[in-house]
Amino acid sequence: MPLYECVFIARNDVTQQQVEAIADQMAAALGEQGGEVRKREYWGLRGLAYRIKKNRKGHYMLLGVSAPPAAMQEVERQLGLHEDVLRSLTVRVEAIEEGPSAILSRRSEDRERERGFRGPRPAGRFASGRGGRERDEREEFRARSREEIEQTVPGGEE
């Protein structure tokens, strides 16, 4: 039986449980025609590259499916008719990967990475604006006394 990966994007104002319910409906439609869902991954609420039907974000769901072609055509038709589904894409694959997809594995790597140290502060003239003022110890910005000014200016004393 052919293998497929189907990704659909649901509107951002539906809940995760409603997205799971859509996936359950698609699994039931596949089951009626002799197919099965072998893999199911919820990728979360993610930003879209451009607005789709006035939505800037969407819930992503991946289904790894083993089904006859007629069953997949029916699932694609139902996804296209569902009012909460913005887009769907179905691709035929040679094998369904058992582990987490690239999207989920990248997300777990991002969580493991620390965000504490971001490197040294850049050398700049101005303070960040937060908290108290920091003193600049460079000679050109150091406050000078009147005597120092008079010594450096020729003819300063009269």
pLDDT at site 94: 92
Residues whose CB falls within 8 Å of the CB of residue 47, separated by 6 or more in sequence, listed in order? 56, 57
- Contact at 8 Å (CB) between 40 and 104? no
* DSSP state letters, 19-87: HHHHHHHHHHHHHHTT-EEEEEEEEEEEEEEEEETTEEEEEEEEEEEE--HHHHHHHHHHHHH-TTEEE
For residue 153, what is the DSSP state? S
| 3-90 topology per CATH | Alpha-Beta Plaits (3.30.70)
Tokens found for residue 55: 């939505």
Per-residue pLDDT of the chain (158 residues; tens, 9 = 90+): 899 999 999 999 999 999 999 999 999 999 999 999 999 999 989 999 999 999 999 999 999 999 999 999 999 999 999 999 999 999 999 998 888 888 888 877 766 665 555 666 666 666 555 555 555 556 665 667 777 777 777 765 55
pLDDT score, position 130: 54
CB–CB of 121/128 below 8 Å? no
- Rounded Cα distance between 18 and 32, Å, is 21
CB 36 within 8 A of CB 68: no
pTM of this structure: 0.66
The pLDDT score that the predictor gives to residue 105 is 80
Domain positions in the chain: 3-90
